[in-house]
Amino acid sequence: MNCALTIYGQSFESRLLIGSALYPSPEVMQASIRASGSQIVTVSLRRQNSVAAGQDFWDLIKALDLTILPNTAGCHSVKEAVTLAHMCREVFDTDWIKLELIGDEYNLQPDPIALLEATKILIDDGFKVLPYCTDDLVICQRLAELGCEVLMPWGAPIGTGKGLLNPYALRTIRERLSEMTLIVDAGLGLPSHACQALELGYDAVLLNSAVAGAGCPETMAKAFRAAVEAGRFSYEAGAMIERDIAAPSTPTLGMPFWHQ
Amino acid sequence: MAKVAVIGFGLVGRLAALMLAKTHQVSVFEQGDANTVDSAGTLAAAMLAPLAESVICEADLAEQGLAAIPLWQGVLAELDLPVMFQQAGTLVVAHQQDRGDLHNFIRRLKPLAGHSAQSLNQTDIATLEPELAGRFSQGVYLPCEGQLDNLAFYAASFKTLKRLGVQFHFHTKVNIDGNQVGNDTFDWIVDCRGIGAKAQMQGLRGVRGEVARIYAPEVTLNRPVRLMHPRYPIYIAPKPNHEFVIGATEIESQDAGDVTVRSTLELLSAAYTVHSGFAEGRVLALRAGLRPAFDDNRPKVTRDGALIRINGLYRHGFLLAPLVVKNALTEVML
């Protein structure tokens, strides 16, 4: 079994991808990201106005010396997302892009139709696209057909912390797209949610609010790190099959056989 | 009597000059004019909100903010012009669909000596703010909090300092070298330049903030109101004569350029959902500025010989400045 996470040919030990927004201070952000053990950090270029204007913040991110995954958070149209992806490629010197295209302003649900369109354009432009999508199997299949090697279906809407709302759908995607790198992105609140995603066979999870919005982000980052490791070990070990009838785990030596 | 140079005439510089001017010979150096429109304090809502801010800052800073409120009363009492000051608390509300954000806010409030939040129902909200009756079914009241009128403070502090004989050097960018500021020598130099000191202070960054100042004669609020929202948490701070400061965005950027359309839409739409009377209000100003902050978002006071630097007050200028400045000056027995 390949024990490393693979994203577009690059291998990573850590299966936790972490965001850089919403922390109480840059210092807490750096400490939390370090504590998470993550090797990939997502950053949002949007609203930083210009490259030079955001330089101080980029320097803090770069000081972490991690792989940077820029995202198109806050984009509502194909044009916006494509433009921002090109800006990100220049600023961060990477062809990776977490493609996020919002369809509903209120719950930030991804727009699956615009997502397919933007994905096609960006792949043609030479990007390695990591699309943030819903847990719809057909959308995931279409994204895979366009050439995505990584898919990032949601667990629940961004920032809700509700965990995996539809484990059945996520399991179906895992089974049907068995060769893809699949990452649950968004909606996680508890370490147990992350653990569950890894137990389902997802290759990794991506989260931000669950750590940044915790009472002590640094400690919560450690909790997620442990949960992701536990979930992955469980998946690799192969869990026992659930059954309805109790089965003794301790041998009952000495008990007359007709009582068993 | 010591000879003291205060560099920068923003919020911190004004407080430092006020605390020093009666007993020392003070000179103020400022690169702009007396209105210091670049100063972050001219944009601020000037809320004194230690409890609400405890959600995002450490408990000790919130305690300091609480301790600074009576200091403000002392400072304002000695000014030559009246400055609106109130301690009528803060009202925090959320729309029905966002009550999760309100609960999250309540859960993250830190205990502050002897001061806590009070849960409100629809009737309680109507009692506190009659014009919000029926708009919100739940909220919290933070009774220990207050606010003041930042622009009135800027005007009053300048008038008072002139009377106290402070020497002003506007449109003057200075070099600090040992005890020298420009060609003059001082016993003490207090650097209060905020983001203006970026080149001299390692780790200082700007955090962009955008606010609207609105004249809305159809709106009456008795105290600052905060709206919890998953993406556009805003505050509305009522100033005298139906003026309201509505803010504030917080963006990790050094860009102090004009307010964006997006931010304007977010701030004003959110305010409109609190009170529809804002629809007929007049936009007096839309302004953007940079809050000076260090990596830990905490204020920092450093001393190097005769030079004292006070900086990094982030979004807590009015909340913390009187105490931070007083402590910094007391430490060197000024």
Q: What's the per-residue H, E or C state across chain B?
A: CCEEEEECCCHHHHHHHHHHHCCCEEEEECCCCCCCCCCHHHHCCCEECHHHHCCCCCHHHHHHHHHHHHHHHHHHHCCCCCCCEECCCEEEEECHHHHHHHHHHHHHCCCECCECCEEEEHHHHHHHCHHHCCCCCEEEEECCCEEECHHHHHHHHHHHHHHCCCEEECCCCCCEECCEECCEECCEEEECCHHHHCCCCCCCEEEEEEEEEEECCCCCCCCCEEEECCCCCEEEEEECCCEEEEECCCECCCCCCCCCHHHHHHHHHHHHHHCHHHHHCEEEEEEEEEEEECCCCCCEEEEECCEEEEECCCCCHHHHHHHHHHHHHHHCCC
Nearest CA-CA distance, residue A52 and chain B, Å = 8
Query: What's the pLDDT score for residue A208?
Result: 93
Task: Indicate whether this complex's ipTM tops 0.90.
Answer: no
Q: Which residues of A touch B298 (CB under 8 A)?
A: 25
Question: Number of CB pairs < 8 Å for A and B?
Answer: 55
Q: Give residue for tokens 């940079």.
A: B290
Residue in A62, A79, A98, A222 annotated catalytic: A98
Best probe of the B interface among A22, A30, A49, by most B CBs < 10 A, is: A49
Cα gap A165→A48, rounded to integer Å: 33
The answer to whether the CB atoms of B251 and A213 lie below 8 A apart is no
Question: Which H/E stretch holds residue A150?
Answer: strand A150-153
Q: Which chain A residue is nearest to residue B56, measuring alpha carbons?
A: A24
Q: Which residues of A touch B230 (CB under 8 A)?
A: 159
Tokens of A77: 């149209």
CB contact at 8 A, A36 and A225: yes
Q: Within 10 Å of residue A238's Cβ, how many Cβ atoms?
A: 7
Q: What is the dihedral angle through the alpha carbons of B266, B269, B270, B273, rounded to the nearest 10 degrees? A: -170
User: Taking Cα atoms as reference points, which of B191, B205, B194 lies closest to residue B304?
Assistant: B191
A226 secondary structure, DSSP code: H
Query: What's the pLDDT score for residue B254?
Result: 87
Best probe of the A interface among B96, B98, B295, by most A CBs < 10 A, is: B295
The answer to whether A98 is a known catalytic residue is yes
Cα gap B139→B124, rounded to integer Å: 9
The answer to whether the CB atoms of A159 and B253 lie below 8 A apart is no
Three-state DSSP at A174 gives: helix
pTM (two decimals): 0.83
The answer to whether the CB atoms of A56 and B251 lie below 8 A apart is no
Query: What's the pLDDT score for residue A57?
Result: 83
CB contact at 8 A, B301 and B326: no
Cα gap B272→B266, rounded to integer Å: 10
Q: Give residue for tokens 């409890």.
A: B51
The answer to whether the CB atoms of B253 and A49 lie below 8 A apart is yes
Query: What's the pLDDT score for residue A260?
Result: 42
Of A24, A30, A56, the CB nearest to B297: A24
Count of residues in chain A: 260
Q: Which chain B residue is nearest to residue A26, measuring alpha carbons?
A: B295
Question: Which H/E stretch holds residue A222?
Answer: helix A217-237
Residue B296 touches chain A, beta carbons under 8 Å: yes
The answer to whether the CB atoms of B253 and A24 lie below 8 A apart is no
CB contact at 8 A, A150 and A7: yes
- Residues 258..287 of B with a Cβ closer than 8 Å to A: which? 260, 262
Assign residue B179 a region (left: φ > 0; alpha: ψ between -120 and 50; beta: otherwise). Answer: alpha
The answer to whether the CB atoms of B295 and A60 lie below 8 A apart is yes
Interface of A with B (CB under 8 A): 24-28, 30, 47-50, 52-57, 60, 106, 159, 213, 215
Cα gap B208→B40, rounded to integer Å: 10
User: Taking Cα atoms as reference points, which of B58, B45, B272, B274 lies closest to residue B146?
Assistant: B45
Q: Which residues of B touch A25 (CB under 8 A)?
A: 293, 295-298
Residues A40-65 pLDDT 10s: 999 987 655 566 677 788 888 888 89
- Amino acid letter for position B28: V
Residues B292-306 pLDDT 10s: 999 999 999 999 999
Three-state DSSP at A182 gives: strand
CB contact at 8 A, B195 and B290: yes
Domains along the sequence of chain B with CATH: 3-328 (3.50.50.60)
pLDDT tens by residue, chain A, 260 residues: 447 899 999 999 999 999 998 898 999 999 999 999 999 999 987 655 566 677 788 888 888 899 999 999 889 999 999 999 998 898 888 999 999 999 988 778 999 999 999 999 999 999 999 999 999 999 999 999 999 999 999 999 988 889 999 999 999 999 999 999 999 999 999 999 999 999 999 999 999 999 998 989 999 999 999 999 999 999 999 988 888 877 766 655 555 555 44
A258 secondary structure, DSSP code: G
Q: Which residues of chain B have pLDDT under 50?
A: none
Query: What's the pLDDT score for residue A252?
Result: 57
Best probe of the B interface among A34, A43, A55, A57, by most B CBs < 10 A, is: A57
Residue B208 touches chain A, beta carbons under 8 Å: yes
Of B104, B260, B296, the CB nearest to A27: B296
Query: What's the pLDDT score for residue A1?
Result: 45
Assign residue B305 a region (left: φ > 0; alpha: ψ between -120 and 50; beta: otherwise). Answer: left
The answer to whether the CB atoms of A52 and B254 lie below 8 A apart is yes
Cα gap B255→A57, rounded to integer Å: 12
Burial (Cβ within 10 Å: 0-12, 13-18, ≥19) of residue B304: exposed
Helices (H), A96-216: 112-124, 137-146, 167-176, 191-199, 209-212
Tokens of A151: 């898919």
Q: Which chain A residue is nearest to residue B53, measuring alpha carbons?
A: A24
CB contact at 8 A, A176 and A141: yes
Query: What's the pLDDT score for residue A240?
Result: 85
Q: Which chain A residue is nearest to residue B104, measuring alpha carbons?
A: A213
- Residues 41..60 of B with a Cβ closer than 8 Å to A: which? 56-57
Cα gap B11→B39, rounded to integer Å: 7
